[in-house]
Chain A
Amino acid sequence: MKLRAPISTAVAISFGLLVLLGIFIPDLADFRNRILNWAMLLAAMALLLGLLNLAQVHWQRIRGRETPVYSAVLLIAMVVTFAVTLLQGSDSETAEWIFNYLVVPIETSLMAVLAVSLTLAAARVFQQRTELMNTVFIATLLLLLIGAGPLFGVELPYFTRVLNPYINNVLALGAMRGLLIGVALGTITTGVRILIGADRPYGA
Protein backbone atom coordinates (compact mmCIF):
# COMPACT_ATOMS: atom_id res chain seq x y z
CA MET A 1 0.00 0.00 0.00
CA LYS A 2 2.85 2.35 0.76
CA LEU A 3 4.04 2.01 -2.83
CA ARG A 4 0.73 3.28 -4.21
CA ALA A 5 1.48 7.00 -3.78
CA PRO A 6 4.95 6.97 -5.41
CA ILE A 7 3.67 4.84 -8.30
CA SER A 8 0.66 7.05 -9.02
CA THR A 9 2.88 10.15 -8.77
CA ALA A 10 5.45 8.62 -11.15
CA VAL A 11 2.71 7.63 -13.63
CA ALA A 12 1.12 11.11 -13.50
CA ILE A 13 4.45 12.92 -13.93
CA SER A 14 5.75 10.68 -16.72
CA PHE A 15 2.52 10.81 -18.75
CA GLY A 16 2.31 14.58 -18.20
CA LEU A 17 5.86 15.00 -19.48
CA LEU A 18 5.24 12.72 -22.49
CA VAL A 19 2.14 14.72 -23.49
CA LEU A 20 4.06 17.99 -23.09
CA LEU A 21 7.06 16.72 -25.07
CA GLY A 22 4.68 15.45 -27.77
CA ILE A 23 3.87 19.09 -28.54
CA PHE A 24 7.52 19.97 -29.18
CA ILE A 25 8.93 16.70 -30.58
CA PRO A 26 7.12 15.60 -33.78
CA ASP A 27 8.23 11.95 -33.34
CA LEU A 28 6.23 11.77 -30.10
CA ALA A 29 3.07 13.27 -31.61
CA ASP A 30 1.45 9.89 -32.42
CA PHE A 31 2.16 8.59 -28.94
CA ARG A 32 0.76 11.81 -27.44
CA ASN A 33 -2.43 11.51 -29.51
CA ARG A 34 -2.84 7.91 -28.39
CA ILE A 35 -2.55 8.92 -24.73
CA LEU A 36 -5.06 11.73 -25.27
CA ASN A 37 -7.48 9.26 -26.91
CA TRP A 38 -7.18 7.01 -23.85
CA ALA A 39 -7.83 10.02 -21.65
CA MET A 40 -10.96 10.88 -23.65
CA LEU A 41 -12.28 7.33 -23.24
CA LEU A 42 -11.60 7.51 -19.51
CA ALA A 43 -13.34 10.91 -19.33
CA ALA A 44 -16.42 9.41 -21.03
CA MET A 45 -16.47 6.58 -18.47
CA ALA A 46 -15.98 9.14 -15.69
CA LEU A 47 -19.00 11.06 -16.99
CA LEU A 48 -21.06 7.89 -16.61
CA LEU A 49 -19.74 7.47 -13.06
CA GLY A 50 -20.62 11.12 -12.40
CA LEU A 51 -24.20 10.46 -13.49
CA LEU A 52 -24.35 7.36 -11.28
CA ASN A 53 -23.07 9.49 -8.38
CA LEU A 54 -25.80 12.06 -9.09
CA ALA A 55 -28.43 9.31 -9.14
CA GLN A 56 -27.07 7.78 -5.92
CA VAL A 57 -27.13 11.13 -4.07
CA HIS A 58 -30.72 11.81 -5.10
CA TRP A 59 -31.81 8.24 -4.33
CA GLN A 60 -30.47 8.75 -0.80
CA ARG A 61 -32.42 12.02 -0.59
CA ILE A 62 -35.63 10.24 -1.56
CA ARG A 63 -35.00 7.54 1.04
CA GLY A 64 -34.10 10.14 3.69
CA ARG A 65 -37.14 12.28 2.70
CA GLU A 66 -34.93 15.39 2.39
CA THR A 67 -36.23 16.67 -0.96
CA PRO A 68 -38.16 13.63 -2.22
CA VAL A 69 -40.25 15.33 -4.92
CA TYR A 70 -37.42 17.21 -6.64
CA SER A 71 -35.11 14.21 -6.40
CA ALA A 72 -37.78 11.88 -7.81
CA VAL A 73 -38.40 14.24 -10.75
CA LEU A 74 -34.66 14.35 -11.43
CA LEU A 75 -34.29 10.57 -11.29
CA ILE A 76 -37.31 9.90 -13.52
CA ALA A 77 -36.13 12.52 -16.06
CA MET A 78 -32.65 11.04 -15.98
CA VAL A 79 -33.82 7.47 -16.56
CA VAL A 80 -36.28 8.44 -19.33
CA THR A 81 -33.69 10.58 -21.16
CA PHE A 82 -31.01 7.91 -20.81
CA ALA A 83 -33.36 5.17 -22.06
CA VAL A 84 -34.60 7.23 -25.02
CA THR A 85 -31.06 8.20 -26.07
CA LEU A 86 -29.79 4.64 -25.65
CA LEU A 87 -32.61 3.03 -27.61
CA GLN A 88 -33.25 5.63 -30.32
CA GLY A 89 -29.93 7.47 -30.54
CA SER A 90 -29.01 11.05 -29.59
CA ASP A 91 -30.26 12.45 -32.94
CA SER A 92 -33.70 10.83 -32.74
CA GLU A 93 -36.87 12.89 -32.82
CA THR A 94 -37.72 12.21 -29.15
CA ALA A 95 -34.22 12.99 -27.94
CA GLU A 96 -34.22 16.25 -29.91
CA TRP A 97 -37.68 17.09 -28.54
CA ILE A 98 -36.40 16.58 -24.97
CA PHE A 99 -33.42 18.80 -25.70
CA ASN A 100 -35.27 21.57 -27.59
CA TYR A 101 -38.44 21.74 -25.48
CA LEU A 102 -37.19 20.83 -21.99
CA VAL A 103 -33.45 21.32 -21.57
CA VAL A 104 -33.05 24.53 -23.58
CA PRO A 105 -36.10 26.38 -22.09
CA ILE A 106 -35.10 25.41 -18.53
CA GLU A 107 -31.53 26.62 -19.03
CA THR A 108 -32.80 29.80 -20.72
CA SER A 109 -35.10 30.41 -17.74
CA LEU A 110 -32.13 30.06 -15.40
CA MET A 111 -30.24 32.57 -17.53
CA ALA A 112 -33.17 34.98 -17.13
CA VAL A 113 -33.21 34.39 -13.37
CA LEU A 114 -29.48 35.10 -13.36
CA ALA A 115 -30.01 38.57 -14.87
CA VAL A 116 -32.35 39.55 -12.03
CA SER A 117 -30.51 37.83 -9.19
CA LEU A 118 -27.19 39.23 -10.34
CA THR A 119 -28.51 42.78 -10.18
CA LEU A 120 -29.82 42.22 -6.65
CA ALA A 121 -26.65 40.41 -5.53
CA ALA A 122 -24.50 43.22 -6.92
CA ALA A 123 -26.58 45.81 -5.05
CA ARG A 124 -26.17 43.86 -1.79
CA VAL A 125 -22.43 43.35 -2.28
CA PHE A 126 -21.80 47.00 -3.07
CA GLN A 127 -23.61 47.99 0.10
CA GLN A 128 -21.14 45.85 2.03
CA ARG A 129 -17.98 46.60 0.03
CA THR A 130 -17.29 50.31 -0.12
CA GLU A 131 -13.94 50.16 -1.84
CA LEU A 132 -12.59 52.41 -4.57
CA MET A 133 -12.67 49.69 -7.23
CA ASN A 134 -16.36 49.02 -6.58
CA THR A 135 -17.12 52.70 -7.15
CA VAL A 136 -15.10 52.57 -10.38
CA PHE A 137 -17.04 49.42 -11.41
CA ILE A 138 -20.43 51.08 -10.83
CA ALA A 139 -19.40 54.36 -12.49
CA THR A 140 -18.14 52.46 -15.57
CA LEU A 141 -21.32 50.40 -15.67
CA LEU A 142 -23.49 53.52 -15.60
CA LEU A 143 -21.42 55.24 -18.29
CA LEU A 144 -21.71 52.18 -20.53
CA LEU A 145 -25.46 51.97 -19.98
CA ILE A 146 -25.89 55.64 -20.82
CA GLY A 147 -23.75 55.23 -23.91
CA ALA A 148 -25.43 51.99 -25.03
CA GLY A 149 -28.23 53.76 -26.84
CA PRO A 150 -30.70 56.64 -26.82
CA LEU A 151 -31.91 57.38 -23.29
CA PHE A 152 -35.66 58.20 -23.25
CA GLY A 153 -35.37 58.95 -26.95
CA VAL A 154 -32.48 61.36 -26.45
CA GLU A 155 -29.08 60.42 -27.83
CA LEU A 156 -26.03 61.76 -26.03
CA PRO A 157 -23.38 61.84 -28.77
CA TYR A 158 -20.40 62.25 -26.44
CA PHE A 159 -21.35 59.08 -24.55
CA THR A 160 -22.38 56.95 -27.55
CA ARG A 161 -19.67 58.00 -30.01
CA VAL A 162 -16.68 58.92 -27.86
CA LEU A 163 -16.81 57.61 -24.31
CA ASN A 164 -18.45 54.23 -24.93
CA PRO A 165 -16.03 53.15 -27.72
CA TYR A 166 -13.07 54.44 -25.67
CA ILE A 167 -14.08 52.40 -22.59
CA ASN A 168 -14.83 49.29 -24.68
CA ASN A 169 -11.89 49.39 -27.07
CA VAL A 170 -9.15 50.83 -24.88
CA LEU A 171 -9.78 50.47 -21.15
CA ALA A 172 -11.83 47.25 -21.11
CA LEU A 173 -9.73 45.58 -23.79
CA GLY A 174 -6.49 46.42 -21.95
CA ALA A 175 -7.91 45.11 -18.67
CA MET A 176 -9.15 41.92 -20.36
CA ARG A 177 -5.74 41.26 -21.87
CA GLY A 178 -4.11 41.87 -18.50
CA LEU A 179 -6.44 39.36 -16.85
CA LEU A 180 -5.86 36.84 -19.63
CA ILE A 181 -2.08 37.18 -19.25
CA GLY A 182 -2.53 36.57 -15.52
CA VAL A 183 -4.66 33.47 -16.20
CA ALA A 184 -2.07 32.19 -18.70
CA LEU A 185 0.77 32.66 -16.19
CA GLY A 186 -1.25 30.91 -13.50
CA THR A 187 -2.06 28.06 -15.88
CA ILE A 188 1.64 27.59 -16.72
CA THR A 189 2.81 27.60 -13.08
CA THR A 190 -0.01 25.25 -12.00
CA GLY A 191 0.90 22.86 -14.82
CA VAL A 192 4.59 22.97 -13.91
CA ARG A 193 3.80 22.35 -10.21
CA ILE A 194 1.93 19.19 -11.22
CA LEU A 195 4.66 18.12 -13.65
CA ILE A 196 7.37 18.37 -11.00
CA GLY A 197 5.13 16.58 -8.48
CA ALA A 198 4.81 19.54 -6.08
CA ASP A 199 1.00 19.42 -6.44
CA ARG A 200 -0.62 15.99 -6.47
CA PRO A 201 -4.37 16.46 -6.72
CA TYR A 202 -4.96 12.72 -7.14
CA GLY A 203 -4.87 11.53 -3.56
CA ALA A 204 -1.20 10.48 -3.66
Chain B
Amino acid sequence: MIPSPLAIVALVVALILLFSVWKGGKRRTLRHIPAIQRLQRSIELSVEDGSRLQVNLGHGGLLGPQSAAALAGLTLLQQLAEIAADSDLPPVATSGEGTLMLLAQDTLRGTYQRLGIREQFNFELAQTTGVTPFSYAAGTLPSVLDRTALSTAMVGSFGVEAGLIADAAQRTEGFSLGGSNDLSAQAVLFAAAHEPLLGEELYAAGAYTNANAAHEASLRAQDVLRWAVIILLIITAVSPLLGGGQ
Protein backbone atom coordinates (compact mmCIF):
# COMPACT_ATOMS: atom_id res chain seq x y z
CA MET B 1 0.00 0.00 0.00
CA ILE B 2 1.45 3.38 -1.05
CA PRO B 3 0.31 6.36 1.07
CA SER B 4 -1.15 9.26 -0.90
CA PRO B 5 0.93 12.47 -1.18
CA LEU B 6 -1.82 14.36 0.67
CA ALA B 7 -1.56 11.90 3.58
CA ILE B 8 2.24 12.41 3.69
CA VAL B 9 1.84 16.21 3.76
CA ALA B 10 -0.85 15.92 6.47
CA LEU B 11 1.43 13.62 8.50
CA VAL B 12 4.33 16.10 8.23
CA VAL B 13 2.09 19.01 9.31
CA ALA B 14 0.77 16.96 12.24
CA LEU B 15 4.30 15.96 13.31
CA ILE B 16 5.60 19.54 13.12
CA LEU B 17 2.66 20.80 15.16
CA LEU B 18 3.10 17.95 17.66
CA PHE B 19 6.82 18.60 18.13
CA SER B 20 6.23 22.36 18.36
CA VAL B 21 4.07 21.72 21.43
CA TRP B 22 5.79 18.64 22.88
CA LYS B 23 9.49 19.20 23.42
CA GLY B 24 10.20 15.63 24.56
CA GLY B 25 12.06 16.50 27.75
CA LYS B 26 14.85 18.97 28.44
CA ARG B 27 17.66 16.57 27.58
CA ARG B 28 16.67 16.18 23.94
CA THR B 29 19.11 17.94 21.69
CA LEU B 30 19.45 18.17 17.93
CA ARG B 31 21.60 15.55 16.26
CA HIS B 32 25.27 16.39 15.82
CA ILE B 33 26.17 17.84 12.38
CA PRO B 34 29.88 18.84 12.38
CA ALA B 35 29.53 21.00 9.24
CA ILE B 36 27.04 23.33 10.91
CA GLN B 37 29.15 23.61 14.07
CA ARG B 38 32.15 24.66 11.97
CA LEU B 39 29.97 27.16 10.12
CA GLN B 40 28.93 28.68 13.46
CA ARG B 41 32.59 29.00 14.49
CA SER B 42 33.41 30.52 11.12
CA ILE B 43 30.60 33.08 11.50
CA GLU B 44 31.94 34.08 14.93
CA LEU B 45 35.45 34.47 13.51
CA SER B 46 34.16 36.52 10.57
CA VAL B 47 32.32 38.86 12.94
CA GLU B 48 35.44 39.19 15.12
CA ASP B 49 37.94 39.87 12.33
CA GLY B 50 35.53 41.94 10.23
CA SER B 51 35.68 39.72 7.14
CA ARG B 52 32.72 39.04 4.93
CA LEU B 53 30.41 36.03 4.82
CA GLN B 54 29.21 34.97 1.40
CA VAL B 55 26.08 32.90 0.98
CA ASN B 56 25.76 31.31 -2.46
CA LEU B 57 22.18 30.34 -3.19
CA GLY B 58 22.79 28.47 -6.45
CA HIS B 59 20.94 28.73 -9.72
CA GLY B 60 17.76 26.83 -8.92
CA GLY B 61 14.62 28.86 -9.37
CA LEU B 62 11.45 28.88 -7.33
CA LEU B 63 9.22 27.16 -9.87
CA GLY B 64 10.69 23.67 -9.81
CA PRO B 65 11.44 20.89 -7.34
CA GLN B 66 14.77 22.57 -6.54
CA SER B 67 12.96 25.50 -4.90
CA ALA B 68 13.10 23.91 -1.43
CA ALA B 69 16.91 23.92 -1.52
CA ALA B 70 16.88 27.59 -2.55
CA LEU B 71 14.43 28.42 0.24
CA ALA B 72 16.65 26.59 2.75
CA GLY B 73 19.50 28.82 1.53
CA LEU B 74 17.37 31.95 2.01
CA THR B 75 16.53 30.87 5.57
CA LEU B 76 20.24 30.46 6.29
CA LEU B 77 20.94 33.87 4.72
CA GLN B 78 18.35 35.51 6.97
CA GLN B 79 19.88 33.95 10.07
CA LEU B 80 23.47 34.76 9.08
CA ALA B 81 22.46 38.37 8.38
CA GLU B 82 21.04 38.58 11.92
CA ILE B 83 24.10 36.99 13.53
CA ALA B 84 26.62 39.01 11.48
CA ALA B 85 24.76 42.32 11.84
CA ASP B 86 27.57 43.65 14.08
CA SER B 87 30.26 42.78 11.54
CA ASP B 88 32.11 45.54 9.64
CA LEU B 89 31.13 43.96 6.33
CA PRO B 90 27.56 42.66 5.97
CA PRO B 91 27.00 39.23 4.35
CA VAL B 92 26.68 39.05 0.58
CA ALA B 93 24.31 36.72 -1.26
CA THR B 94 24.87 35.48 -4.80
CA SER B 95 22.34 33.73 -7.00
CA GLY B 96 22.08 32.51 -10.56
CA GLU B 97 18.41 33.29 -10.96
CA GLY B 98 16.31 36.46 -10.91
CA THR B 99 13.57 35.45 -8.47
CA LEU B 100 16.15 34.19 -6.02
CA MET B 101 18.03 37.51 -6.22
CA LEU B 102 14.84 39.45 -5.50
CA LEU B 103 14.04 37.21 -2.52
CA ALA B 104 17.60 37.51 -1.21
CA GLN B 105 17.38 41.33 -1.44
CA ASP B 106 14.02 41.25 0.30
CA THR B 107 15.34 38.91 2.99
CA LEU B 108 18.34 41.13 3.75
CA ARG B 109 16.30 44.34 3.65
CA GLY B 110 13.61 42.86 5.94
CA THR B 111 16.22 41.55 8.39
CA TYR B 112 18.09 44.88 8.60
CA GLN B 113 14.82 46.77 8.96
CA ARG B 114 13.81 44.51 11.83
CA LEU B 115 17.19 45.05 13.49
CA GLY B 116 16.94 48.84 13.02
CA ILE B 117 19.97 49.05 10.69
CA ARG B 118 18.16 49.58 7.40
CA GLU B 119 20.87 52.04 6.25
CA GLN B 120 23.33 49.09 5.98
CA PHE B 121 21.30 47.56 3.17
CA ASN B 122 22.08 48.18 -0.46
CA PHE B 123 21.00 46.27 -3.55
CA GLU B 124 24.51 45.06 -4.30
CA LEU B 125 24.43 42.84 -1.21
CA ALA B 126 22.35 40.35 -3.19
CA GLN B 127 23.68 39.84 -6.70
CA THR B 128 22.95 37.75 -9.75
CA THR B 129 26.42 36.69 -10.84
CA GLY B 130 25.45 34.70 -13.92
CA VAL B 131 22.41 32.92 -15.32
CA THR B 132 23.88 29.61 -16.47
CA PRO B 133 25.53 27.20 -13.98
CA PHE B 134 29.13 27.86 -15.03
CA SER B 135 28.71 31.59 -15.62
CA TYR B 136 27.18 31.77 -12.14
CA ALA B 137 30.22 30.00 -10.67
CA ALA B 138 32.62 32.18 -12.70
CA GLY B 139 30.87 35.34 -11.51
CA THR B 140 31.01 34.18 -7.90
CA LEU B 141 34.72 33.35 -7.95
CA PRO B 142 36.23 36.89 -7.83
CA SER B 143 34.85 37.76 -4.40
CA VAL B 144 36.20 34.45 -3.04
CA LEU B 145 39.58 34.73 -4.77
CA ASP B 146 40.27 38.36 -3.74
CA ARG B 147 39.73 37.28 -0.12
CA THR B 148 36.83 39.71 0.37
CA ALA B 149 34.76 36.76 1.59
CA LEU B 150 36.70 34.33 3.78
CA SER B 151 33.70 32.20 4.70
CA THR B 152 31.64 30.79 1.87
CA ALA B 153 28.40 28.88 2.37
CA MET B 154 26.86 27.18 -0.64
CA VAL B 155 23.33 26.23 0.25
CA GLY B 156 20.90 25.81 -2.61
CA SER B 157 20.61 24.10 -5.94
CA PHE B 158 24.06 23.62 -7.49
CA GLY B 159 25.54 21.27 -10.03
CA VAL B 160 29.16 20.16 -10.34
CA GLU B 161 30.23 23.81 -10.86
CA ALA B 162 30.08 24.16 -7.06
CA GLY B 163 33.51 22.50 -7.12
CA LEU B 164 35.02 25.66 -8.69
CA ILE B 165 33.76 27.83 -5.82
CA ALA B 166 34.88 25.32 -3.18
CA ASP B 167 38.32 25.11 -4.82
CA ALA B 168 38.65 28.91 -4.80
CA ALA B 169 37.84 28.95 -1.08
CA GLN B 170 40.53 26.29 -0.53
CA ARG B 171 43.14 28.30 -2.42
CA THR B 172 42.51 31.43 -0.38
CA GLU B 173 42.56 29.43 2.87
CA GLY B 174 38.97 30.43 3.52
CA PHE B 175 36.24 28.24 4.93
CA SER B 176 33.70 26.58 2.65
CA LEU B 177 30.52 24.73 3.49
CA GLY B 178 28.41 23.23 0.74
CA GLY B 179 25.13 21.43 0.28
CA SER B 180 22.95 20.84 -2.74
CA ASN B 181 19.90 18.83 -3.68
CA ASP B 182 21.80 17.46 -6.67
CA LEU B 183 23.67 14.16 -6.07
CA SER B 184 26.58 14.99 -8.41
CA ALA B 185 27.08 18.29 -6.59
CA GLN B 186 26.99 16.49 -3.24
CA ALA B 187 29.77 14.16 -4.44
CA VAL B 188 31.83 17.13 -5.70
CA LEU B 189 31.29 19.07 -2.48
CA PHE B 190 32.24 16.04 -0.37
CA ALA B 191 35.59 16.08 -2.13
CA ALA B 192 36.17 19.82 -2.47
CA ALA B 193 34.44 21.70 0.36
CA HIS B 194 35.77 21.87 3.90
CA GLU B 195 32.41 20.78 5.24
CA PRO B 196 29.85 19.06 3.02
CA LEU B 197 26.14 18.82 3.84
CA LEU B 198 24.76 15.48 2.69
CA GLY B 199 21.15 14.51 2.01
CA GLU B 200 18.67 16.17 4.33
CA GLU B 201 21.41 18.05 6.26
CA LEU B 202 21.03 20.84 3.68
CA TYR B 203 17.53 21.56 4.93
CA ALA B 204 18.52 21.32 8.60
CA ALA B 205 21.02 24.20 8.52
CA GLY B 206 18.41 26.75 9.60
CA ALA B 207 17.54 24.80 12.72
CA TYR B 208 21.16 24.86 13.92
CA THR B 209 22.30 28.38 13.16
CA ASN B 210 19.44 30.13 14.90
CA ALA B 211 16.87 27.57 15.92
CA ASN B 212 13.28 28.51 16.58
CA ALA B 213 10.56 26.10 17.70
CA ALA B 214 9.27 25.45 14.17
CA HIS B 215 12.74 24.63 12.84
CA GLU B 216 13.47 22.23 15.66
CA ALA B 217 10.03 20.65 15.29
CA SER B 218 10.47 20.18 11.54
CA LEU B 219 13.87 18.61 12.12
CA ARG B 220 12.40 16.15 14.60
CA ALA B 221 9.56 15.41 12.16
CA GLN B 222 12.19 14.79 9.47
CA ASP B 223 14.04 12.37 11.79
CA VAL B 224 10.84 10.49 12.64
CA LEU B 225 9.96 10.17 8.95
CA ARG B 226 13.46 9.01 8.11
CA TRP B 227 13.24 6.23 10.69
CA ALA B 228 9.76 5.33 9.39
CA VAL B 229 11.19 5.01 5.86
CA ILE B 230 14.11 2.91 7.13
CA ILE B 231 11.77 0.56 9.02
CA LEU B 232 9.46 0.28 5.99
CA LEU B 233 12.43 -0.54 3.74
CA ILE B 234 13.64 -3.23 6.14
CA ILE B 235 10.14 -4.74 6.43
CA THR B 236 9.78 -4.71 2.63
CA ALA B 237 13.16 -6.40 2.23
CA VAL B 238 12.65 -9.01 4.96
CA SER B 239 8.98 -9.93 4.37
CA PRO B 240 9.61 -12.07 1.23
CA LEU B 241 12.19 -14.04 3.22
CA LEU B 242 9.59 -14.74 5.91
CA GLY B 243 6.99 -15.76 3.33
CA GLY B 244 5.05 -12.52 3.65
CA GLY B 245 4.78 -11.83 -0.08
CA GLN B 246 6.50 -12.14 -3.45
Contact of B65 (CB < 8 Å), options: A176, A187, A193: A187
B75–A199 touching, CB < 8 Å:
yes
CA distance A185 to B110 in the complex (A): 29
Closest to B133 in A: A107
A57–B62 touching, CB < 8 Å:
no
CA distance A128 to B131 in the complex (A): 33
B202–A186 touching, CB < 8 Å:
yes
Confirm or deny: A157 has a beta carbon within 8 angstroms of a beta carbon on chain B: no
CA distance A144 to B162 in the complex (A): 23
* Cβ–Cβ < 8 Å partners of B215 in chain A: 193, 198-199
Confirm or deny: B244 has a beta carbon within 8 angstroms of a beta carbon on chain A: no
A110–B137 touching, CB < 8 Å:
yes
* Cβ–Cβ < 8 Å partners of B166 in chain A: 121
Residue-wise, chain B 87-118 has the 8 Å CB interface mask toward A (1 for contact) of 00000000101110111001101110000000
Confirm or deny: B181 has a beta carbon within 8 angstroms of a beta carbon on chain A: yes
B183–A176 touching, CB < 8 Å:
yes
Binds A, one of B21-29, B41-49, B222-230: B222-230
Binding site secondary structure of chain A:
helix
CA distance A40 to B103 in the complex (A): 15
A54–B127 touching, CB < 8 Å:
yes
A57–B102 touching, CB < 8 Å:
no
Closest to B206 in A: A199
CA distance A96 to B219 in the complex (A): 47
* Cβ–Cβ < 8 Å partners of B219 in chain A: 189
Contact of A118 (CB < 8 Å), options: B68, B97, B139, B163: B163
A74 to chain B, nearest CB (A): 8
CA distance A198 to B13 in the complex (A): 11
Binds B, one of A45-53, A84-92, A162-170: A45-53
B192–A43 touching, CB < 8 Å:
no
CA distance A53 to B12 in the complex (A): 38
CA distance A169 to B235 in the complex (A): 21
Contact of B192 (CB < 8 Å), options: A40, A125, A180: A125
Closest to A131 in B: B34
Closest to B130 in A: A54
Confirm or deny: A26 has a beta carbon within 8 angstroms of a beta carbon on chain B: no
A49–B98 touching, CB < 8 Å:
yes
A196–B163 touching, CB < 8 Å:
no
Q: Contacts A43-B61, A110-B161 hold; do A182 and B226 have CB atoms under 8 A apart?
A: yes
Closest to A49 in B: B98
CA distance A122 to B128 in the complex (A): 28
A-side interface residues toward B, CB under 8 Å? 5, 20, 23-24, 36, 39-40, 42-43, 45-51, 53-54, 56-57, 60, 67, 70, 103, 106-107, 110-111, 113-114, 117-118, 120-122, 124-125, 128-129, 137, 176, 178-183, 185-196, 198-199, 201-204
B-side interface residues toward A, CB under 8 Å? 5-6, 8-9, 12-13, 16, 61-63, 65, 68-69, 71-72, 74-75, 77-78, 95, 97-99, 101-103, 106-107, 109-111, 123-124, 127-135, 137-139, 142, 160-161, 163-164, 166-167, 170, 181, 183, 186, 188, 190-194, 198-204, 206, 212, 214-215, 218-219, 221-222, 225-226, 229
Q: List 21 A-B contacts (CB under 8 A).
A: A39-B62, A39-B63, A47-B97, A49-B98, A50-B98, A51-B98, A56-B124, A107-B133, A114-B161, A117-B163, A122-B192, A125-B193, A129-B194, A179-B183, A180-B183, A182-B198, A185-B226, A185-B229, A194-B71, A199-B71, A199-B206
